[in-house]
Chains A and B, each alone.
Chain A
Amino acid sequence: MTIPAIKIEQVHKSFGKLDALRGVDLQIEQGEFFALLGPNGAGKSTLINILAGLMRPGSGHLSVLGHDVVTDYRKTRRLLGVVPQELVFDPFFNVREMLRFQAGYFGCGPENDPWIDEVLEGLGLTDKAYSNMRSLSGGMKRRALIAQALAHKPPVLVLDEPTAGVDVEVRQMLWAFINRLNKAGTTIILTTHYMEEAQTLCSRVAMLKQGEIVALDSTRNLLNRLQTKQLRLKLQGALPASLLPLKRGESGDYVTLNLAATTEVEYILAELRAANVAVEDLQLIEADLEDVFLDIMGHQP
């Protein structure tokens, strides 16, 4: 059995009276592309900060590739690359200097320079290598932060909301790059607010709510959990009484019905025909991760 990339056991953390983490257990295997989802204040960043050594756990154990993050921190910090949520940078240096220094803190010397070139290239930063961090645009700064986390070539990369405030083009480019890293063997853990990102990229998802993991499964299983598909209809006339139990909601001219199975469409159309209600428009909607998320978090969409 291979050693898990990340193993988190019964981790608690409180700030004063607030219990930010309440006994989190989580195991992430090597090579996974894993998403940590949850509303603001769920404890995602706290968990990442503890993993990275920026905070200490109240109790519990965390390990990276088998090394404890508290007792063996020198090892675990070399194994982790962390992209912080905030756009922070050192205004004194240009991108290349900053990356060399960052790699140097981890004990890498000039032998690491080809890797830095590779990262700059991969993130489209080559022509900004000699620009001061201050002069970069927001999207460029974000890329530079990712480059900084990768400077020492860590096998596990943690990204805390890496695409917040980044335009679509840059976002696509970032994900293409991170996907390549993942294919090459890097374990990726990300937190994000964009559900479609987690859905298209990640093989497994954990959902955090008020310091606890409330769902942990493969993305596919989570999507299957919400079996119901939905049918959106624009009708000429009122919904027949026989179909009212299926009604989920109404917006504008459209009415939304819950489907337990796709075959129910036939029954609904038959009922409408029988009631002489014409269908102007019809859409079949699949559940997405956002629905699952809202369902688990206890909201109604």
Chain B
Amino acid sequence: MRGMYTLFKKEIWRFWKVSFQTVAAPVMTALLYLLIFSHALATRLEVYPGVSYTAFLVPGLVMMSLLQNSFANSSSSLIQSKVMGNIVFLLLTPISYLEFFLAFLAASMARGITVGLSVFLVTMFWVHLPLIHPWYILGFALMGSAMMGALGIVAGICTEKFDQLAAFQNFIIMPLTFLAGVFYSIHSLPPLWHQVSRFNPFFYIIDGFRYGFFGQGDVSPALSLSIVAVSFVLISMATLQLLKSGYKLRG
């Protein structure tokens, strides 16, 4: 147990030591999005009745930052220690594959939630948000960060170089989060794209998270939470299988 806790603590330290890059920078990015999009669109759009576009945007940005940073934590830590070679010091220890998974997962969730919460707290200066269903907010934050933390572990294991990981991030994670309804309601999309969006698990995370604030969303939050939970379980099972087999870690 102490081995797993040490690994968790080390992973937390690792991002906290460079928190200007790992926490402050994504908060800044989210604020820029808020500034630009709300300036450009706030007077023209009202997605839900009684909810300003700026208010609508905030939960989306919070969740997007949370998802991207949860993914970045486990994936960048793993790829870095693989490229540097120091992952060997972890592989020499009695830490089991399950403990390895849980430690990386928990640290990723901590980073994602730290960044998400920071974005939320900073935007409170400009936008006042209701918190109608706080348990949904918490549930989606935990589930979303867990899913992305696990996906980050998969990416960190499967990729061998920084550019491969960057490709994974830019061509899969970024489009999926951007097209998940951060900036719009999928009801505003043409029917085809509306249907396509429903196959994007990130859409359910963002929609359900937003439901927690406003009490309204595009689909039922219970359905969204179930879909996210199932996605998390499937990704975790795949990750554990990879770790158990020693794929690309143990020859």
Alpha-carbon distance A275/B232, docked complex (angstroms): 92
Contact with B along A76-93 (1 / 0, CB 8 A): 011010101010111111
Minimum C-beta distance from B79 to chain A (A): 14
Tell whether A91 pairs with B6 under 8 Å between CB atoms, given A55-B250, A105-B90.
no
Tell whether A77 pairs with B93 under 8 Å between CB atoms, given A55-B251, A101-B6, A105-B7.
yes
Minimum C-beta distance from B63 to chain A (A): 28
Contact of A107 among B2, B17, B246 (CB under 8 A): B2
Flag if A54 contacts B2 (CB, 8 Å): no
* B13 CB within 8 Å of chain A: yes
**Residues of B92-147 contacting chain A, CB below 8 A:** 92-96
Flag if A88 contacts B2 (CB, 8 Å): no
Most A C-beta atoms less than 10 A away, residue of B84, B88, B93, B251:
B93
Flag if A53 contacts B85 (CB, 8 Å): no
Contacts of B41 in A (CB 8 A): none
Most B C-beta atoms less than 10 A away, residue of A54, A88, A105:
A105
Closest residue of chain A to B3, judged by CB?
A105
Contact of B84 among A56, A84, A88 (CB under 8 A): A88
* A237 CB within 8 Å of chain B: no
Flag if A53 contacts B96 (CB, 8 Å): no
Flag if A53 contacts B6 (CB, 8 Å): no
Flag if A54 contacts B88 (CB, 8 Å): yes
* B86 CB within 8 Å of chain A: yes
Alpha-carbon distance A73/B91, docked complex (angstroms): 11
* A148 CB within 8 Å of chain B: yes
* B187 CB within 8 Å of chain A: no
Flag if A104 contacts B6 (CB, 8 Å): yes
Flag if B88 contacts A88 (CB, 8 Å): yes
Flag if A92 contacts B3 (CB, 8 Å): no
* B81 CB within 8 Å of chain A: yes
Flag if B246 contacts A73 (CB, 8 Å): no
Tell whether A84 pairs with B246 under 8 Å between CB atoms, given A56-B251, A104-B2.
no
Alpha-carbon distance A52/B90, docked complex (angstroms): 12
A-B contact count (CB 8 A): 76
Contacts of B88 in A (CB 8 A): 54, 84, 88
Flag if A102 contacts B89 (CB, 8 Å): yes
Contacts of B5 in A (CB 8 A): 104
Minimum C-beta distance from A17 to chain B (A): 16
* A49 CB within 8 Å of chain B: yes
Contact of A73 among B14, B81, B84, B94 (CB under 8 A): B94
Tell whether A89 pairs with B84 under 8 Å between CB atoms, given A49-B251, A82-B92.
yes
Flag if A92 contacts B17 (CB, 8 Å): yes
Contact with B along A96-116 (1 / 0, CB 8 A): 010001101111110000000
* A74 CB within 8 Å of chain B: yes
Contacts of B90 in A (CB 8 A): 105
Flag if B91 contacts A53 (CB, 8 Å): yes
Closest residue of chain A to B88, judged by CB?
A84
Q: Given A90-B81, A101-B9, output 20 extra A-B contacts at Cβ < 8 Å.
A: A15-B251, A53-B91, A53-B250, A54-B91, A54-B251, A56-B250, A75-B94, A77-B94, A78-B94, A82-B92, A84-B85, A90-B84, A90-B86, A91-B84, A104-B5, A105-B3, A105-B7, A105-B89, A106-B93, A107-B1
A-B contact pairs, 10 of them (CB 8 A): A52-B92, A55-B251, A74-B96, A78-B94, A92-B14, A93-B13, A101-B9, A104-B3, A107-B2, A148-B89
Chain B contacts to A: CB under 8 angstroms? 1-3, 5-7, 9-10, 13-14, 17-18, 81, 84-86, 88-96, 246, 250-251
